Amino acid sequence: GWAGEGPGSGGKNRRVCHAAARLEMGGLWEEFNRLGTEMIVTKAGRRMFPTFQVKLSGLDPLADYVLLMDFIPLDDKRYRYAFHSSSWLAAGRADPAAPGRVHFHPDSPAKGAQWMRQIVSFDKLKLTNNLLDDNGHIILNSMHRYQPRFHVVFVDPRRDSERFAHQNFKSFSFPETQFMAVTAYQNHRITQLKIASNPFAKGFRDGDPEP
């Protein structure tokens, strides 16, 4: 369950070349992925569930690292949900790409030892469909598919560190975390699984529409 980087991880700084990340709650992500994960985006910003969490290994305990995430479109299509077949269908070309943003883990920068000591949770990250968002949330287009990416960046103390920027990070993608951005859940089985597995969805269970 540990993900290293694919081809092309050669030439990386020794402080990141051995970094590995294991996706937490992998079984739950798999369960959602089999149904076709949907993540709600709202104007105000909505947290992801499952939360993106990783366990890190292979960092230099004494070096400083910044952890961040970004989200890349999986294709150039927009989709619609066909209720009669319970499936997503391509419905034309993608909308113009939303402004590309990154979300820095709020504990960044921190020593490798600290990052490896506990599970790293991106529970502050919020998804929005507001193109004019000024809260720093990740902006996504609804009815488009995305792949979250996780990046470990070594904070290089050298004065000319920007020359080595390409060597100082390592990226991880977990295919089971792909999702469709939606303003309301389309697949009722996704709704059921979210309610069943999200401790914060209690409001749904009690009939309160806003968890």
* pLDDT at position 198: 87
d(C-alpha 88, C-alpha 185), whole Å: 12
Average model confidence (pLDDT) across the chain:
91
Q: What is the pLDDT of residue 199?
A: 79
- Asked if residue 55 has pLDDT above 80, the reply is yes
At residue 32, does pLDDT exceed 50? yes
The reported pLDDT for the residue numbered 6 is 44
Q: Which residues contact 113 (CB under 8 A, 6 or more apart)?
A: 59, 61, 62
9 has a pLDDT exceeding 60? no
Asked whether 27 and 6 are in contact (CB, 8 A), the reply is: no
Residue 13 has pLDDT above 90, yes or no: yes
Question: What does the alpha-carbon distance between residue 130 and residue 172 come to, in Å, rounded to a whole number?
Answer: 27
Mean pLDDT of 174-182: 98
Q: Which domains does the chain have, with CATH numbers?
A: 20-198 (2.60.40.820)
For the segment 98-123, the average pLDDT, to the nearest whole number, is 96
Give the pLDDT score at 114: 98
pTM over 0.75: yes
User: What is the reported pLDDT for 5?
Assistant: 47
Q: What is the length of the chain?
A: 211
> By mean pLDDT, which of 46-60, 171-185, 188-202 is the weakest?
188-202
Q: 82 forms bridges with which residues in the sheet?
A: 87
Residues 116, 56 contacting (CB under 8 angstroms): yes
Q: Whose structure tokens read 């502050």?
A: 124
